[in-house]
Amino acid sequence: MKHSHLSLIPKRTSVVVEVANILKNEIQLRRWTKSLPGQRTLCATLQISRPTLDEAYRTLQTEGLIRVEHGRRTLILRQPRKRPLVKDHQMVVAIQPEPLSTRVVPNILQISGLQENLEAAGLRLIVQSNPCFRRDRLGNQFETIVGQYPDATWVLLSVNQSVQNWFMNHKFPTLVDGFTHNGVKLPSIDLDHPAACRHAVASFLRAGYRNLIFLSPGAGRAGDLACEQAFTEALQRSPYSEAAGQVIRHDSTINGLKSVIGGLIKRCPDRCAILASEPQAALTTVSFLLQNGVSVPGHFSVISLEYDYFLSWNSPTISSYEYDLNLYTRRLSSLVIKLAREGYLPRRPIRLMPRFRPAETFAPE
């Protein structure tokens, strides 16, 4: 499958109109010259249904821009009427390793909100998704993508230390949406998940749990590493000498998590508390425990370090840490706008504290 490099993502209001505008924009930018990509690729990239894409196609066909032929690629007949071009210094490029379709809903809404706020300020958001942004050795593909926007402002999402170092060393106007790795001096904004880790450890201990597990993805992201350290330090400073904890890294797959949880079921005879770094990992953990006849809460308690809407629709509902998405998006947007206009931000990290959302998977004694 081709990797996403579309200039915009669709807003969730008036999706058909937004998709049609995005397609016209990409045609005008000559991303595609003879035909549009396949419908399956476009649906996956834009995170839309086939009927929505069909409606957008009908709009473009009515305007005489494309010709849709059954069983063939959709042909581009002419360029849309040109709009005033956006200069490079008015562009904001957000880069991430994974396509938007793999991210949790709050992250997608955050990017959509950022796009709206930047457009209102006269700036244009371009989202680049490519696996090269997580490679330790940055090659020609990385430099080709970055070289397309020599005067842009950059937002880094879930990238590794090599990418953060590259932008720091090249002194591009850059903001990290997340934690920075050790030695990287770039401005950043994120939720204070390490503080939430310390709060979760203290809550588990007060509830009588002495076997604590932190499930962490093995991607090596700076925020995950900071949370692992916070979890470990919180246990070391605990007044309960009998308390024991372990950081277990997993591969972020369902089978990988099942293997980890299966091992915990076998070797945890007493009550055990699990802090999952990601909401999807928390959901898989709770589901697998229940499938194996393990009581939740009871034998196991589970808290997710991040919130997603589906956690409230699970039975039992899953405890988590949530945040004000609109507030975070406004803070992120104001920083990006300031950076785009002034070319500089203080390197001081900005951290917003999430709020604990108690639910049924955490039962204090």
Quick check: 14 pLDDT over 70? Answer: no
Looking at domain 15-76, does it have CATH number 1.10.10.10? yes
Which DSSP state fits 221?
A: -
Of residues 80, 7, 18, 97, the one with CA closest to residue 52: 18
Question: Domain 88-191+327-352 has what CATH class?
Answer: alpha beta
Topology match between the domains 15-76 and 193-323: no
214-230 pLDDT per residue, tens: 999 877 788 999 999 99
- Three-state SS string over 239-302 comes to CCCCCEEEEEEECCCHHHHHHHHHHHHHHCCCCEEEEECCHHHHHHHHHHHHHCCCCCCCCEEE
Q: Quick one: pLDDT band at residue 251, thresholds 50, 70, 90? A: confident
d(CA 265, CA 283): 16
Of residues 157, 159, 107, the one with CA closest to residue 135: 159
**What does the pLDDT read at residue 301?**
94
Quick check: 107 pLDDT over 90? Answer: no
CB 354 within 8 Å of CB 191: yes
**What does the pLDDT read at residue 100?**
63
CATH placement of domain 193-323: 3.40.50.2300
Each domain of the chain, given as residue ranges in start order, spans 15-76, 88-191+327-352, 193-323
CB 184 within 8 Å of CB 161: yes
Question: Measuring CA to CA, how many Å separate 235 from each of 197, 221, 222, 300, 364?
Answer: 10, 22, 20, 18, 18
d(CA 231, CA 220): 16
d(CA 63, CA 83): 16
Q: Quick one: pLDDT band at residue 105, thresholds 50, 70, 90? A: low
Of residues 260, 212, 219, the one with CA closest to residue 236: 212
Higher pLDDT, 202 or 87: 202
156: phi then psi, degrees, rounded to nearest 5: -100, 125
Q: Quick one: pLDDT band at residue 6, thresholds 50, 70, 90? A: low
**What does the pLDDT read at residue 252?**
84
342-363 pLDDT per residue, tens: 888 888 899 999 999 999 999 7
Quick check: 82 pLDDT over 90? Answer: no
What is the percentage of the chain residues whose pLDDT exceeds 70?
A: 90
Greatest CA separation for the chain = 74
**What does the pLDDT read at residue 67?**
84
Quick check: 77 pLDDT over 90? Answer: no
276-335 pLDDT per residue, tens: 999 999 999 999 999 999 988 888 999 999 998 899 999 999 999 999 989 999 999 999
Quick check: 88 pLDDT over 60? Answer: no
Of residues 114, 85, 89, 5, the one with CA closest to residue 339: 89
DSSP string, 127-157: EEE-GGGG-SS--HHHHHHHHT-TT-EEEEE
Mean pLDDT score, 16-32: 76
Mean pLDDT of the chain: 84
Mean pLDDT score, 203-221: 89
**Which among 9-13, 102-106, 107-111, 172-176 has the top mean pLDDT?**
172-176
**What does the pLDDT read at residue 84?**
44
What is the percentage of the chain residues whose pLDDT exceeds 90?
A: 41
Higher pLDDT, 194 or 242: 194
Phi-psi region of 183 (alpha: psi -120 to 50; beta: other; left: phi over 0): left
Q: Where are the alpha helices (DSSP H) in the chain?
A: 15-28, 39-46, 50-62, 105-120, 140-147, 161-170, 193-206, 222-236, 254-267, 279-291, 325-342
Q: Helix crossing, 39-46 with 50-62: angle to 10°?
A: 110
d(CA 1, CA 131): 12
Lowest mean pLDDT among 72-86, 194-208, 280-294, 318-332: 72-86
d(CA 163, CA 153): 15
d(CA 301, CA 130): 37
Mean pLDDT score, 35-53: 81
Lowest mean pLDDT among 66-80, 172-186, 345-359: 66-80
